[in-house]
Amino acid sequence: MSIKVVGAVLLCSFPIALSQTSAPKAVVRNMEACEQGRLACDISQLTPAERTKISLMVTRTNYQRCTSYVSSCDPAMLAPEEVKEVSLLRAERNLRQCMSGAADCTPVLLTETQLAAVQNAMKKRNLDLCLSGSNHCNPLDLTTQEMKRVVDAQRLRNLEDCRLGLASCNPLKLEPPQLEIIMKTAAERNLAHCLAGSNRCDPLRLSATDAESVHAESLKRNFERCKEGILQCNPLLLTAPQSAAVSEAYTLRVASRRHN
């Protein structure tokens, strides 16, 4: 056989071999597309066994979506026993959502017993909110006894706010003995601020005796600052012995720097 004849035979047989090797790859890709639920899936290319496999996969995936409350769930694809199971799961989930006060609660799906339990849970949540002073409290849903508890809790909360010196304190709601204690505590707290040189000090609230103590402490702090060479030192407030001590401290600092 001549070389030309052999070449012609090889060229004619090559497309056949190529199509035989590429065909299985196309089948595999199509099967993968069908298993993944992609639009590229061509069902007509599947064998009966493959169609059965894909059908079972789709059914199982849909069941998982339905039991996971995914919106893409198709109830029409569920078997009768699966419909009952999914309905039970959704009813249980709806009850949990309603009991927790979630926005996606559907009250019409509740039984009378469940609805009563949900209403009791809602009242308890509202009572807890009212007792904690929340703005979401609805006092109209409180009973007379509950309202009394809420008022008592508000008084205790206000008393604690006043004791801590918070801006939310309302002294007008304090009883006379409580107001006396709070005023004393506030005076002690203000004195401590003043003695420490805090900017929270209110000198107008100091008694004459306390003002003298604060002034003496201020002079002492000024003396210490001057000895340390701090800029906030006011030398005009120093006594003669203090000025001498400040000068001596300055001399020692200069000598120390030269030595180093």
Q: Residue 74, SS3?
A: coil
CA distance 48 to 43: 10
Cβ 190 vs Cβ 206: under 8 Å: yes
Say which residues have a Cβ less than 8 Å from residue 210's Cβ, sequence separation at least 6: 191, 194
Whole-angstrom Cα Rg for the chain: 43
> For the chain, what is the mean pLDDT?
86
pLDDT of amino acid 123: 95
pLDDT of amino acid 150: 96
Cβ 169 vs Cβ 162: under 8 Å: yes
CA distance 78 to 60: 9
Q: Residue 109, SS3?
A: helix
Is the C-alpha dihedral spanning 203, 207, 211, 214 positive or negative? negative
Q: Over pLDDT 90: what percentage of the chain?
A: 56
pLDDT of amino acid 23: 60
Tokens of 82: 């699966």
pLDDT of amino acid 4: 45
Q: Over pLDDT 70: what percentage of the chain?
A: 91
pLDDT of amino acid 19: 45
In the chain, beta strands by DSSP E: none
CA distance 220 to 51: 94
CA distance 74 to 140: 43
pLDDT of amino acid 202: 93
Q: Note the pTM of the prediction, 2 decimals.
A: 0.55
In the chain, which stretches have pLDDT less than 50? 1-20
